[in-house]
Structures are given as C-alpha cells and as structure tokens.
Amino acid sequence: MQKFARDALDAVEGCDEVTLFSCTNTHRRKQAVKHGLYYALNLLSVRNAETRGVPVGGGAKRIAETIEFESEYDGVWQRLPTHIIERLREGGFDVILKFGLGLLRVPPADELPVPILSYHHGDPDHYRGRPAGFWETADGKGVMGQIVQVIGNKLDAGRVVAFAETKVHSYSYKATLIEAFRHSPLLINQAIRNAIGGVSLDKPCNGRNCRLPSNLNVAKFMLRMGKKKAGRLVYGALYEKKWQVSLAPAPPAGAVALFEGEGFAGRETWQTIEAAQGYTFYADPFFSARPPGLLVEALNRRTGLGEIVLIEDEEHKAVSGFAGHASYPFTFGEGAGQVVIPETASWQPLTAYRIDGDKMVAAFALDLPGGRALLDPTLIAHDGRVYLFGNLDEAGSNTLYLWSAPAIDAPFELHPASPILVSPRGGRMGGSILRDGDRLIRLGQDFEGGYGDGLRAFEIETLSQSEYRERAIGYLGLDGVSGPHTLNVQGGMLLFDWYRETFDLGAGIRRFRARRATKRALKA
C-alpha cells in the first residue's frame, strides 16, 4: 500500500490489529496517446516519498488475517463478491478503510451496515474525480482540500467525516502532493470517530467532476510551473519582505469588529516604528508589561538571523543574544510574573525567559511531551488551566495543535482534539488570543496567497481539558500594503506588522548566512 496510507493505519487509536482484505484484480486502463504527458508527470511528481509502495505488514498494526479475493466489475466500477460482503458483515468490524481499488459499488446498508471510509485528495465542493492536486495547481488556487468520506455510489460525494486543507505550491506539483499526502494521516481518527458516531461535516460535494488532463493541458501546466520556479529563484536571491511595525487606534467596538466588516484605521493614524541601525526590519510585535514597552523580532542585517529587541520609548535594546534565530516574542503573565516565550524552533525546544536589565534570562523550559519545539507558541489562561497553541516543526506551519496544563511550569498534555486545524487559512497563530467580553477570539495567519498577507479570526466556542471547538468569523487584510501577520491589542491600541516587497542585492546572502548560523546553533 502507499506509505501515507500505512501511516494513517498506524495512527489509528484504540486498535492493535487489523484484518486485511486484498483485491488481486484491480486494473486501470491507460490511454497512453491521450494522456502520455500526464503519465510522465506522474513518474516525476505523483510518485513520491509519501505515495511509494510499502508492505502493509511492515507497519505498527498486527495483521490478524489476510483474505485475498477477486472483485466483480460493473463497467468501470468494482463490486465486492457476496462471500466477501458476508465476511465483512460477520467480522464484528467497526469500520472498513478502503485504500487502493478503483470506483467501488457500496452494498446496501441491510447487506453491509459497516461504514466504508476512503480518502479523496481534493475539496469535493470544487474538485471531484482526479488527479489529486492537478487542477487546483493549474487553476492557480492557493490551497487544495482533502477529505475522508463514507463512500456511496456517486463519485466523491459521500458523507464527509473529516476535512483538511494544504498549501498548493505553484512552482512544484511534487511539493504540493507531498504536503497533502503527508498530512492525510492526521485526519484518520477524527474520521473514524465521526463515522462510528454518525456525525457528518457540513461539507457540500457539488464540485465539477475532473478527469485526467490532456497532453495540451499538461504542457501548459508544466510551462506555468517552470515560470513560477524561475521567479521563486530570482525572488530568493534578490528580493525580501520589508516588514514594519505600527500602532493604530482600535475601533470603538473593539478589535474583533475588524474581522466582522469594520474598516481598519487610516494610514494617516499609524505610528510606524523605524528599525534601529543594523536591522533590516521589525516584525512580530507584542506588548510587554515588565519592562514596559514593545518586543519585536528584528532581522540582523549582517547575520540574517532574527533577534528580540525591546523598545522602551525611543530606546531600542537587543535583549536576546541567542546563537540561533528567534522570533514571535509572545508574552505571558503580568507584572513580575511576565515571561517571554519566543519561537526558537529551528534550534532549541520551547523555553520561557524573563527580561533582566538588558538581557533575556532563561527561566524554565516548557514541559511538552518529547521536549518539542513549536512555531509561534501562544498561551492563554482559562478556567484554571493554561492552554498552549502552536505548530510542531515536523508537521509544518499549517497544522495547529493544542496542549493544556494546570500551570505554565507544569507538564503539558496534548489535547484530544489535536490537531485542531489543518489549513493554510488560519492554521498558524498570528498574535495573542483576544478577549471581547465573554468571547475568546483566536487569530491565525492566512497563507492562501502570499506569506504573512492577512489574518483570519476564529471564535473559540468551547475550550476545556477534553473539548475544543471554534468557528471562523472573518478575515483582515490591509489596503495598499501586505499584512498584517501578527496583531495584538492593548488599551485601545492595535499593534501590528505589515510589509512591502523590496529589491535588495543582499537578500540571498542574508538567507544563506541565516541557514549557516542555524546549523551552527543546532550543533552547539
């Protein structure tokens, strides 16, 4: 089976063994003349580290029994033979996971009441059929969906029991597919719980029925990707984002109103903070209570690494002094109890610091299972517990996890709802949790287009040690510039970052130096 499929099988909770029903006569007709270029593209992109074939028995689950069979055919649809339906019905199974096979006719519920689950790599409200990710990339979309569905007898229109989104990389079809398939196992437990519980997501399945592309479509597709890849190389060498940090008045109704349709403060009201000498930009701003002022990520012009700078009135002090990159200086607590928890995921686990004079001093490491490093760690104290939002570096920046602990210096446990969101649209934190009366509003970065170009807001409807639920409430972008990418609120003021793309002959050199410095920090 494909590697992503075995990884999904290995991830199933509460199950140590599986029964394997192996179809031996699945076949697909190939039209080499009509789709020859696609088959070539398939060899280069669709066949990758996540879709390569691996032995089923090499995974974590014990194979209780293997039953081989030949399917029947109804045109292009496969049909399970009667004796296999009987074995499935009488086997005491809770759920059937379909990997491989072609289109499958589902027996009536009175013959087989057990749900059959199948992955579809696409958002069925827009793209049904195949191939995975091709038409989304060809159409210039920013994301591609993926679902687990209880299959029926209509193409990719079954009852949806789990949904996620991953980034479409316009310059690489292979990268797009690797990211999609790598995230697929994260859906499996939610899908099984919902399927067994009879819970469905409110997800329409009315998209167009896509088929394999013609040779002409593939040629256009590859030309477009080539241009995007060349542009990406030029950008990496000669361009970078010129981030800036500003303050502006919040709307009278509160910052949440910005995500519900109220206009952002006019540019003439912004108080923009110029970066100190030696720094290329400021970004990721947070309010600090002790010492009072602002904390920002500052990109060192010489090393290309992010440093934490404290801004007190007109004075700018570099307070981190780390060997590796630091960003997102999240502050937690008040007065003497304030700690700073920056992102240092590229070189060390999550650590809380106190600012002592002109220096950040390590106070304690956060006790996460496995001593994990997180992207953009964000905490909130709520109903006697501390909740921690963040992205595991190995899972990528679009997969948001949640942990909780009785106190910030106590052991954290992974929340049972994790990951709480898998999507470029809000799956990475973009500032502190906002409190609007009794409402809690989570801000997430929007990666559907350019990096850092806008925020999405989610109202947290349920937050407890065992449950989490949120709903999307809106989007915020800026006119004339790109951003924001981090937003915080205090005393009626908005603190946020934004950027313009700028030409700089030193951009590529700084990126190279930053990578070398990060490697040195990891070795240290």
Residue 18 structure tokens: 């599986």
Q: Give the confidence band of 57 by pLDDT, cuts at 50, 70, 90.
A: confident
pLDDT of residue 523: 59
Distance CA 210, CA 130 (A): 6
Does the pLDDT at position 341 exceed 90?
Answer: yes
Mean predicted confidence (pLDDT) in 361-365: 94
Residue 7: alpha-carbon gap to chain centroid = 18
Percentage of the chain surpassing pLDDT 70? 97
Using one digit for the tens of pLDDT, what is the confidence trace for 373-424?
899 999 999 999 999 999 998 888 899 999 999 999 999 999 999 999 999 9
Does the structure show a pLDDT above 80 at 335? no
Confidence of residue 524 (pLDDT cuts 50, 70, 90): low
The arithmetic mean of pLDDT across residues 127-143, rounded, is 90
Coil, strand or helix at 187? helix
If you average pLDDT over each of 160-169, 235-244, 505-514, which comes out highest?
A: 160-169
3-state helix/strand/coil string of 219-262? HHHHHHHHHHHHHHHHHHHHEEEEEEEEEEECCCCCHHHHHHCC
Q: What is the pLDDT of residue 522?
A: 59
- Which is it for the CA torsion 496, 498, 504, 510, positive or negative? positive
pLDDT in tens, 414-470: 999 999 999 999 999 999 999 999 999 999 999 887 788 899 999 999 999 999 999
Domains of the chain, with CATH numbers? 3-213 (3.40.50.170), 233-523 (2.115.10)
Whole-angstrom Cα distance, residue 105 to residue 465? 41
Give per-residue pLDDT as tens, 183-230: 999 999 999 999 999 999 988 888 888 888 999 999 999 999 899 999
Whole-model pTM?
0.89
DSSP3 helix / strand / coil % (the chain, rounded to 5): 25, 40, 40
CB atoms within 10 A of CB 315: 9
pLDDT per residue as tens digits for the range 253-286:
889 999 988 889 899 999 999 999 999 999 999 9
Q: How high is the pLDDT of residue 261?
A: 84
